[in-house]
């Protein structure tokens, strides 16, 4: 079963906003009825623009698809933790809209007048995790044969982005979001979503500072406490070094990178899980991530 790490959307604000948007739009669809938010050939111009740019990519055709889609989006928060929010957002935008354009192009070549199927199919079919393939299979069976084009387009978009554009051409590093958009998301959208990673990091660093020994206080105590306090402090330091030395030696013997361990722990896994995965992956953080996500 896929290991989900920490529950919730810690360090995954884009996934949280995406999931909330899917739920909200499908609730609105249930209230106003079908045909308003989905892709349609009978909509007027502004409505079609809204459908193809926003609502049509998030509204599903049935309640079963809404439930399964929310599960997949929740699982995808692990990718956002590993890649970072900006890279994950680029991945979503490319896979969604490239798949949409590809479906429209194929429909045009085949002369098929029917509208393409609504929903984030171009995004949810790009996963390469075998543990959630059965959910994607349910999507295909729900609207077959219309869902076949969406699934194939989404899979092709994911392969194109991950293995060609990102790994070979490094396009995800070349293209950056505008600074004003980043600031708007940090200052407006993150507080609305209740996700503030900088605040959490500041709280964690503050707790670490409170738990760490204060050198200035120790110096004052040594200066005012006399020889007995200094001897007691030296003894405590000696015991602490003896406790830390086996741990440091064990890390050196294993050859594990502390930076890789911290990176994996930020995804929500325990230190023991991260160390075990890195040992099996020969300290390769990408292979270790694959092992952890496939457990």
For 98-111, what is each residue's pLDDT tens digit?
A: 989 999 999 889 88
Bond into 264 cis (ω within 30): no
Q: Please choose, from the candidates 87, 67, 68, the residue with its C-alpha nearest in 3D space to the C-alpha of residue 79.
A: 87
Q: Is 87 exposed, middle or buried (0-12, 13-18, 19+ CB in 10 A)?
A: middle
The whole-number pLDDT of residue 227 equals 52
In angstroms, how far is CA 141 from the centroid of its own chain? 27
Q: Maximum distance among all alpha carbons in the chain?
A: 92
Q: Please choose, from the candidates 131, 123, 126, the residue with its C-alpha nearest in 3D space to the C-alpha of residue 93.
A: 123
In this prediction, residues 10-32 reach a mean pLDDT of 90
Place of tokens 């889609």: 69
Bigger pLDDT: 13 vs 120? 13
Bigger pLDDT: 59 vs 289? 59
- Determine the length of the chain: 295
């Amino acid at each position: 079963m896929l290991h989900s790490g920490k529950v919730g959307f810690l360090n995954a604000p884009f996934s949280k906003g995406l999931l909330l948007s899917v739920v909200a739009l499908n609730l609105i669809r249930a209230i106003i009825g079908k045909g308003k938010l989905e892709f349609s050939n009978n909509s007027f111009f502004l409505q079609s623009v809204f459908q193809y740019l926003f609502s049509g990519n998030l509204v599903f055709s049935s309640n079963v698809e809404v439930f399964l889609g929310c599960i997949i989006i929740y699982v995808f928060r692990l990718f956002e933790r590993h890649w970072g929010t900006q890279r994950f957002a680029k991945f979503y935008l490319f896979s969604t809209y490239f798949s949409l354009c590809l479906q429209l192009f194929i429909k045009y070549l085949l002369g098929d007048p029917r509208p393409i199927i609504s929903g984030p199919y171009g995004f949810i079919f790009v996963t390469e995790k075998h543990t959630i393939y059965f959910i994607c299979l349910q999507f295909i069976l729900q609207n077959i044969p219309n869902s076949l084009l969406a699934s194939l387009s989404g899979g092709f978009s994911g392969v194109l982005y991950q293995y060609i554009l990102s790994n070979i051409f490094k396009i995800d590093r070349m293209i950056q979001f505008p600074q004003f958009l980043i600031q708007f998301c940090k200052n407006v959208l993150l507080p609305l979503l209740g996700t503030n990673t900088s605040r959490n990091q500041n709280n964690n660093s503050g707790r670490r500072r409170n738990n760490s020994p204060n050198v200035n206080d120790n110096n004052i105590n040594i200066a005012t406490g006399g020889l007995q306090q200094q001897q007691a402090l030296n003894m405590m330091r000696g015991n602490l070094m003896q406790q830390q030395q086996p741990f440091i030696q064990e890390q050196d013997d294993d050859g594990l990178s502390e930076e890789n361990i911290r990176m994996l722990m930020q995804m929500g896994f325990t230190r023991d899980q991260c160390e075990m995965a890195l040992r099996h992956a020969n300290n390769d953080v990408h292979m270790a991530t694959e092992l952890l996500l496939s457990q």
